[in-house]
Chains A and B, each alone.
Chain A
Amino acid sequence: MTALTGTALTGTGRLIRLAVRRDRWLLPLWVLFPCLVPPVFVAAFNGAYPTAQARHEYMETSLHNTAFTVAYGPLHGSTLGEMVTWRSGFVPVVIGLVALLTVVRHTRAEEEAGRRELIGSTAVSRHATIAAALLMTCGACLVLGAVSALAMIGQGLPAAGSLAYGFELASAGWVFAAIGAVAAQLSAGAGTARGIAVVVLAVAFLLRGIGDVSGLSGGRLGWLSWLSPIGWTHRLQPFHDERWWIIALAVGATVALTAAAVALSGRRDLGNGLLAARVGPAVAPPGLRSPLGLAWRLHRGSLAGRTAGLAVVGLGLGGIAESIGELMNNGSPAARDVLARLGGPGTVVDQYLVGMMTMFAVINAGFAIQTALRLRAEESGGRAEPLLAAPVDRLRWAGGHLVFVLLGPVLGLAAFGAAAGFAHGLNTGDLGRDLPRILAAALVQLPAVWLFAGLGFALFGLWPRLVAGAFAVLLASLLLGWLGGELQLSRWVLDLSAFNHIPQLPGGEFAVPPLAVLTVMAAALVLLGLLGLRRRDIPAG
């Protein structure tokens, strides 16, 4: 007689193999990409700042760039290891994002698509899906950390610091993988689950940014960084008196969050979330009568969420801009000297704001591409067919979504710029000057954002399978901006990035021609997408 044997994790191994098989292209890419960052920075710093003296000067300048502190975390010293770790400070955020997306992809997204049911009916235990998704993701993060550490050791950096850096990356991945697992239990929709987890990541990033800036300038909000898992990972302090116990904190948080996800999963039915699905109206509201009306219904939630999120982040980042003045007074005479050469505190605040504007232009471009991907999801999910079988021209159908692809960033950047300008204006006491200045600085990013929106849409029309490639181009642009300065790449390489052509506002010179060129290019891409869409099969074969 066969007993009903099987542990809580039966089938996990096979599910991991399935997940790895599904991600066989994606997984190596996101594991390898972060490992390339430290060697690039080592080469860059060795090339640009070969002496300890040069590095020290660089540190003095960087310490007082609040944009750097927000993006990368605190800089502790001027050794090569510290510099590379600090400059790679955004990598944990990217890894956290990828980790949570991967976990949602293999849990809630599978469940929503109905494939989880098929798997669940086989000899697979209840918790095997969560276990498999977490084990694969956390394992990948560990590999990623190990390879990064090896890469740094290979570059001649101290082993202990390299190892700590590896753990910094891995632990960011672990914690956010577990956060993804919890979010996946909350909502019946994968989109909402992703949204919840991404908001947690954004809040963690914001808390760390505000906490670190406040800490550096002697403010009272330094403890905020300790609320943020991103903040913990930086506090491992690779190459600077490593705090190894932080790893235990990250592992503990991961285990606790995993336990919470398992407990939540045990309390709900397959296909449901903890946030109960409500019933809808029996009759459609009058506005739901056109492709545009439908697109509004489909996009309004994420549009409102993103806009509100950007406004909150804008308030936070705008609010800390003024603290740069305090930083200057706290800085060493050498630092004050450097700042004076750069053009005084006003210029430094502006430089910080320019950095923030570029960063949020990239984020909004990401949102725009994601909105364009929705069109592809509608098509491949079979939801475009019933509409296109009704008297709806394909261009009208795509146009409804296109409105949100193009206007979403307008709203997002306006909210971010207005909020940042408002908070900064309150601090300076000159709202009438700073609000319009900073709002304009945000809106001037639009042509570059539209270029990526147009790219996403053109790919959708011409080569729909490659539509996610727009993200790859965005990532490449981000890297160019990120590494370009240190690598001392030639101007034409840097100019490949659309963001490099945007006027450096506030403070810089405003110029219409590059904006006009970018806008025309974006319009041409949209047109190409429309032409492609008119000719091709739906769904694309």
Chain B
Amino acid sequence: MTDAVSVAGLVKTFGSTTALDGLDLAVRTGEVHGFLGPNGAGKSTTIRILLGLMRADAGTARLLGGDPWADATALHRRLAYVPGDVTLWPNLSGGEVIDLLGRLRGGLDPRRRADLLERFDLDPRKKGRAYSKGNRQKVALVAAFASDVDLLILDEPTSGLDPLMEEVFRETVREEVRRGGRTVLLSSHILSEVEALCDRVTIIRDGRTVETGTLSELRHLTRTTIQAELDGPPHGLAGLPGVHDVRADDGRIRFDVDSAALGPALSRLSAAGVRSLVSHPPTLEELFLRHYDRAAAGNGKHAEAAR
């Protein structure tokens, strides 16, 4: 199976700022791929390169088997895009925008359009300037979902939607994928959304890919926190590779442990005699925060170097 999107070593600079600094991204056909990163990490720039709106300074990008810059128009027949900040023409109604975009992509199914308008509870007669942010986003979402395309590129598509609409969005994405052959590249900050929808995620920071994989794979990359009451001191625990921040206090111990070192660490504990034990599995929040927070990320690098 070929990848719907494959990007390697992408570099893009604007004057003296480096927006992308060797970014890698692979989206497999048929999957929902979460694309995450703090604000300004380079998500929108990557998407604009994939859409052939911008040209990369170095690196390669392939989209649906074609070159996003050279074959832009042909490729765009097979994709739909929802920008992060939807702006509409002030004097066009929402329905007109949906139809225009649909017709440009070669027509849309009127029944599907009506169904989506109802689901998203959108009045298509309002003029562009009269819509709220959430409603502008709905216009772009309806236009994208109503077209029959292979790839959906969604740039923070739910940032203005209420929880009810957020749920409608999730259902619609699941449906799209179930209909088969459809690939979704979803840039998002909403962890529950990523967890609910995405098969794999890529996390980028400062224009570089820092993690990529399935969510469970990524969970393995983080540490479990363990608290235990012991009969005696756990000999050699602090010296184990992958065990961090050991704090012992009056028969109680607390430490963080890499997933790979969980077995050896537990055997040291049981050797000392365990009276009680609590373990906190790594949460996605921790995973993301570790990558989002610059200071923490710096520490992570040091930790890796020390290992």
| Chain A residues within CB distance 8 Å of chain B | 112, 188-189, 271, 277-285, 288-290, 293-294, 297-298, 301, 381-383, 385-393, 535, 537-539, 541
Contacts and interface: CB of A to CB of B under 8 A. Distances in A.
A281 B90 contact: no
A175 B97 CA distance: 40
A284 B95 contact: yes
B91 A297 contact: yes
A382 B96 contact: no
Given A188-B129, A289-B104, A284 B99 contact: yes
A243 B103 CA distance: 64
B11 interface: no
Contacts of A293: 100
A279 B53 contact: no
B127 A392 contact: no
* Tier of interface size on chain B: 35 or more
A188 B153 CA distance: 32
B79 interface: yes
Interface of B: 14-15, 48, 51-55, 72-74, 76-77, 79-81, 83, 85-93, 95-101, 103-106, 124-127, 129-130, 140, 143, 153
In this complex, the member of A271, A288, A388, A390 whose beta carbon has the largest number of chain B beta carbons within 10 angstroms is A390
Contacts of A283: 95-96, 99, 124
Contacts of B104: 289-290, 387, 390-392
A440 to B, nearest CB: 36
8 contacts: A281-B125, A282-B93, A284-B97, A382-B83, A391-B106, A393-B72, A535-B55, A539-B53
Contact of A541 (B14, B103, B129): B14
B127 A277 contact: yes
B101 A279 contact: no
A284 B100 contact: yes
- 7 closest A-B pairs by beta carbon, nearest first, are A280-B93, A284-B99, A389-B81, A541-B14, A390-B104, A284-B96, A537-B54
A373 B109 CA distance: 35
Nearest to A394: B72
B95 A282 contact: yes
- If over half of B's interface residues share one DSSP class (helix, strand or loop), that class is named, otherwise mixed; here it is mixed
Contacts of A537: 48, 53-55
Given A283-B99, A284-B96, A294-B100, A393 B91 contact: no
Nearest to B104: A390
Contacts of A539: 53
B93 A386 contact: no
Contact of B99 (A277, A288, A382, A535): A288
Nearest to A297: B92
Contact of A282 (B51, B79, B124): B124
A538 B92 CA distance: 23
Given A188-B129, A279-B125, A284-B103, 9 more contacts: A277-B130, A284-B100, A285-B96, A288-B96, A382-B85, A385-B53, A386-B86, A538-B48, A541-B54
A538 B52 CA distance: 9
- If over half of A's interface residues share one DSSP class (helix, strand or loop), that class is named, otherwise mixed; here it is loop
B100 A288 contact: yes
A282 B125 CA distance: 4
A196 to B, nearest CB: 15
In this complex, the member of B52, B93, B153 whose beta carbon has the largest number of chain A beta carbons within 10 angstroms is B93
A289 B53 contact: no
A281 to B, nearest CB: 6
A381 B72 CA distance: 21
In this complex, the member of A189, A280, A281, A538 whose beta carbon has the largest number of chain B beta carbons within 10 angstroms is A280
Contacts of B89: 294, 297-298, 383
Given A189-B90, A279-B93, A281-B96, A392 B76 contact: yes
B286 to A, nearest CB: 34
A294 B76 CA distance: 19
Contact of B77 (A188, A383, A391): A391
Contact of A389 (B51, B98, B100): B51
Nearest to A535: B55
B183 to A, nearest CB: 16
Contacts of B126: 279-280
Contacts of B93: 279-282
Contact of B129 (A189, A284, A385): A189
Contacts of B140: 386
Contacts of B95: 280-284
A388 B93 CA distance: 20
Nearest to B88: A383
A387 B51 CA distance: 11
B125 A386 contact: no
A119 B302 CA distance: 43
A386 B106 CA distance: 15
A385 B83 contact: yes
A381 B97 CA distance: 16
A386 B105 contact: no
A280 B125 CA distance: 5
A28 B31 CA distance: 56
Nearest to A390: B104
In this complex, the member of B51, B79, B90, B97 whose beta carbon has the largest number of chain A beta carbons within 10 angstroms is B90
